[in-house]
Structure 1
Amino acid sequence: MFFVSNCDSQKEIKTISTKELKTLIAEEKIQLLDVRTPDEIEKGHIKSAIFINYFDDNFSEISNKLLDKNKSVYVVCRSGNRSTKACKILKEEGFEVVNVLGGYNQWEKEN
C-alpha cells in the first residue's frame, strides 16, 4: 500500500464560522478581506471588509499593499472555495490567515 500524507501543520489553514466572525467583528477591529468580484459585492457585503478581487491578475501585489502582515487576515468569498485558494496565496506571502467557512452566503443566511 502507498499512502500520501499532507501533515505539514504550517500549511494548515485555520477556519472559523460566520457566527464566530460576527462575534469577532463586534468585539474588536479585525482585518477582514472579501475576495469576491465587484458584481458580487454590489449585491451585498460585510461593512468592515476590505475588497480585493481574487481573479485580479495582481491579487498578491494588491494584497501586500493593502493588508497588514502584523494582523491576522480573515478571508471571505461567496461560499468558501475562493477564500480557501486566496488563503493559500496569502499564507505563501507571509500572512497569518483564517478562512471563513460558508462565505458570504452563510453570513447572509444568519444575518
Structure 2
Amino acid sequence: MSFFFINCDKNQTLETITTAELKTLLSKKKIQLIDVRTPQEIKEGFIATAIFANYFEDDFAEKAIRKLDKDKPVYLICRSGNRSEKAALILKEKGYNVINVSGGYNQWKKEN
C-alpha cells in the first residue's frame, strides 16, 4: 500500500491510496467507502458497496457520520480525488481515520 501525504495545513496530513489499492481492499474485506459525489454523478456509475453522502449538501458531515463506524477506517472517493480530499479533512477533524482515493471514480472507471 502506498501513502501520499498532502500538506493542507501544518498539522494535517492525509493518507491517500490509488484506485488499484482500493480494488484490492474491496476484494479482501468490507470497508467503509464514502462516495461524496452528487446524485447526478452517481447515475453515471458507482462502486456497489459505497455509502453515498453528497459533499455539496449543507449537512454533509452529519449525514456521513450517521452512516459510519468511528472505530474503522473511512475511505473517500469522488469524481477525481479533490472533493473527497476536502471531505476527508472534515471527517478527520471530527476524529475519523480517513483515507482519500486518488484519481477518484474517473480513474476507477479507466481501470475497471
TM-score for the superposition, normalised by structure 2:
0.90
Q: If you compute each CA radius of gyration, which structure gives the higher value, 1 or 2?
A: 1
Number of aligned residues = 104
Return the offset for 1:60. Answer: 1.1
- Output the amino acid matched with 1:51: F
Q: What is the rounded CA distance, in whole Å, between the counterparts of 1:39 and 1:99 in structure 2?
A: 21
Partner residue, 2:96: 95
Partner residue, 1:3: none
Tell me the alpha carbon deviations over residues 26-66 of structure 1, each in whole angstroms, 9 at most, x when there is no partner. Answer: 00110000000000001100001000000010011111211
- Output the amino acid matched with 1:70: D
RMSD: 0.9
Identity of aligned residues (%): 60
Q: What is the rounded CA distance, in whole Å, between the counterparts of 1:99 and 1:58 in structure 2?
A: 20
Partner residue, 1:59: 60
Q: What is the rounded CA distance, in whole Å, between the counterparts of 1:73 and 1:64 in structure 2?
A: 10
Partner residue, 1:24: 25
Return the offset for 1:7. Answer: 4.4
Where does the alignment leave 5 or more consecutive residues of structure 1 unmatched? 1-5
Ranges of 4+ aligned residues in structure 1 off by more than 4 Å: none
Partner residue, 2:45: 44
TM-score for the superposition, normalised by structure 1:
0.91
SS of residue in 2 equivalent to 1:75? strand
SS of residue in 2 equivalent to 1:45? coil
Q: What is the rounded CA distance, in whole Å, between the counterparts of 2:84 and 2:60 in structure 1?
A: 12
